[in-house]
Structure 1
Amino acid sequence: MSIKYWPLKRGFMITSPFGQRAGGFHAGTDFGWEGGSANLPVHAVKGGTVIYAGAASGYGGPDPAGWIVIDHPTEDGGGVSEYGHIIREVQVGQRVEAGQRIGRINPDSRTNGGVAPHLHLSVMPYEYNPSRKLDPVPWLDGALYPGEDPPRPAPVPASGLTAEVLSQAMGGSVPIERYRELLPGFVNAMIAAQCTTVERAAMWCAQIGHESAGLRYMEEIASGAAYNGRADLGNTQPGDGPRFKGSGPIQLTGRHNFRKFSEWCHAQGWVDSPRYFEDRPQLVREDPKWGFLAATWYWVVARPNINTMADARDLVGVTRAINGGTNGLADRQLRYKRCLELGAALLPKAGDAPMSAQEVQEIKDFIVEFCGPIGSDTKDVRQQLTGGRDAGEYPGWEQLGFRTVTDAIAQVLLNQVAIAERLEALEKGKNDDVR
């Protein structure tokens, strides 16, 4: 599933459906346009790689007329799509994206049995296998039309996920106190994974809930010794198996993945070394903050199309991306249904995303830049008025006899008092002489 598009622009019509018809079984669906379909643009229904293109039996030729066949990997929702009676605009081996223009309907009716120009679309659930063709219309249920943008994630609400709701989502596998302990790291990782819609949050909770048995396990139960010597995991040093065994709720495994996770966290500014967790693998198991962020890395970096599949509610596709197969699908389905029913209560609170070291430094730099001159001026004024905090730090004004302003004013006041006393004494002596 993933992001899906109809092959023609909005307003098309189905000229011949999938199924039995006069002359045999029609293993596909014909799409056309009222008033004529010649040269109408054709679009890829999903992202994938072109595996066949050009002239083909039953679809005409010569190249570039004929057909296009696209293989859709798991990340794009899986399956194969076949487009016939078209003129290709892509080539074998080329990567195409969902909704991308890939050709146009061939205007030459001689290529399709003499009927009006149209697109013949076939789909297959897994690999290219003409004997397993499906009806494309239900396969494309909920698809966008070419030119339409996928829906954007909704703003994160101010309410926020609570430990009680997290416990419900996870099936209450651990005491509520443990969910309260895990909640901050869980929420931070959700936001970092952009799981801020009901569809994404439900998929995140269902998949992580299954992989960790409701957040009961933050590391693989086995010792990890079986991973020793696994070069495919980057385990090239003695003891790498246990050292880099499955860690975090979806079990980051192998020196290679710990290094990639470290590099990603370093790029975000969250750690100070691109080998941080390669040197400290136990943190991914022991600190929920890092364990959950390891799941985020897998979700958005190692398998970057998971959120796209989550938007389409493609539980099977996400399961294949995480598990490599469909192990535990029944449990994942139950968890996913429960999480969808929780709805917006699963969504994290706005503003809970972790700040990176770079963001913290930017705030500090702003404060220093804004307040630095003010602070410097304040210090100068203080020194001029009262002197420095330490003796001898500020010698005072030369014009004031190397006194501070406060000391100079005090001296003026003392001098005034002395003058007043002197005048008073002189005045008294004058009066005594008169007598």
Structure 2
Amino acid sequence: MIAGPLKQGDNDDDVRTLQQTLATHGFSPGAIDGMFGQGTVAAVMAFQKSEGLLPDGIAGPRTLSALGLADSTTLPSAIPAVSVQIVSQIFPVTPIGNIKSNLPSVLSALVQSRISDKPMVLMALATVRAEVECFEPIAEGESRFNTSPSGHAFDLYDNRKDLGNRGAPDGAAFKGRGYVQLTGRLNYQTYGPKLSTPVDLVSDPDRASDPTVAAELLALFLADRELAIKKALLAGNMAMARQLVNGGTNGLDRFEDAFERGSSLIPDLAAD
């Protein structure tokens, strides 16, 4: 078994084993010479695409496991490096008391959903800052995007088929809540049963703003989009990464700032 990760520039027997295994699977790296060069990068990327993995050209735990060269697909966790002090730098205007109160449940939920590697931790924290910079789960307020000039609160959500809404009062009942601002009957119906202790969020939508529930909803929502998010991040497309969660680019400035701050404060870890 190989501990990994293996990446371009590495030169050892583990790389030779990787090259031999790639060739056996039908993805030739060129010369089997133990040197992780461009040919090996291309072969790893082709294999990753074939297996539905992040095509970053790095042989991390998931790639090595798919090749039969590692026993575990678990990515190194960034959680030990995430402290209240570090997060307070990522959230420069947020009361530190809110971070102390709510950060533990958010980090625990990320571990539970197996997205505690650095890119997903950054994605979670940046999402929280873009959605609820106060670092408390809150309910969405009325705005011109959800309420018409002469209509009742959240009437522009009432008939949104893409949200699974069926008309009034669905818009107000299933408005955005929590850290990820979970919105729409369909999302409430989908994610309630996925919680560690299932909750009927359709009957009791306000539970989505409970701190523990909100943390789990954030983690579950991001986990369902992990590969797409990582592809966007790999391409440097922060707007797309934000859109995959928000459906648009609202809060993109805060999202990008939080991600940049966190990237420099949290140490790099292994890739997929």
Q: Which amino acid aligns with 1:143?
A: G
The offset of 1:257, in angstroms, is 0.8
RMSD: 3.9
Hey, which of these two has a bigger chunk of helix by percent?
A: 2
1:200 corresponds to which of 101, 120, 125 = 120
Structure 1 residues 309-328: Cα deviation after superposition (integer angstroms, max 9, x where no partner): 48848553422322345554
* Larger gyration radius, structure 1 or structure 2: 1
Change in Cα spacing, 1:43 to 1:342, as seen in structure 2 (3 Å) is closer
In the TM superposition, what are the counterparts of 1:257-268 in structure 2 within 5 Å?
257-265=187-195, 268=196
Report the residue type matching 1:254 in the other structure: G
TM-score normalized with structure 1 length: 0.42
2:266 match: secondary structure: helix
Amino acid at match of 2:185: R
Alpha-carbon separation, structure 2, partners of 1:207 and 1:264: 20
Which residue in the other structure is 1:91 paired with? none
Amino acid aligned to 2:85: E
1:171 and 1:214 in contact (8 A); partners too: no
Partner of 2:169: 239
CA spacing shift, 1:193–1:170, aligned 2, 3 Å? farther
TM-score (norm 2): 0.64
Give the percent of matched residue pairs that are identical in Structure 1 and Structure 2: 22
Does the alignment pair 1:279 with 2:203? yes
Q: 1:9 to 1:321 in 2, by over 3 A?
A: farther
Structure 1 unaligned spans of 5+: 1-5, 13-30, 34-40, 48-95, 100-139, 346-435
The Cα offsets for residues 7-65 of structure 1, whole Å up to 9 and x where unpaired, read as: 963337xxxxxxxxxxxxxxxxxx999xxxxxxx9974764xxxxxxxxxxxxxxxxxx
Q: Which residue of 1 aligns with 2:64?
A: 149
Unaligned runs of 5+ in 2: 1-21, 32-37, 66-72, 143-152
4+ long deviations beyond 6 Å: none
One-letter amino acid of the counterpart of residue 164, structure 1: Q
1:240/1:329 Cα in 2 relative to 1: closer, same or farther (>3 Å)?
Answer: closer
- Alpha-carbon contact 1:228-1:240 (below 8 Å) kept: yes
The equivalent of 1:343 in structure 2 is: 266
Whether the 8 Å contact between 1:218 and 1:291 is mirrored in structure 2 is no
Query: 228, 241, 255: which one pairs with 1:332?
Result: 255
Matched, 1:9 2:28: yes
Between 1 and 2, higher relative CO (CA 8 Å, sep ≥ 6) is seen in: 2
* Residues in 2 aligned to 1:32 and 1:164: alpha-carbon distance in whole angstroms: 43
In the alignment of these two chains, the number of paired residues is 217
Which of residues 177, 197, 206 is equivalent to 2:97?
177
**Quick check: 1:299 aligned with 2:219?**
no
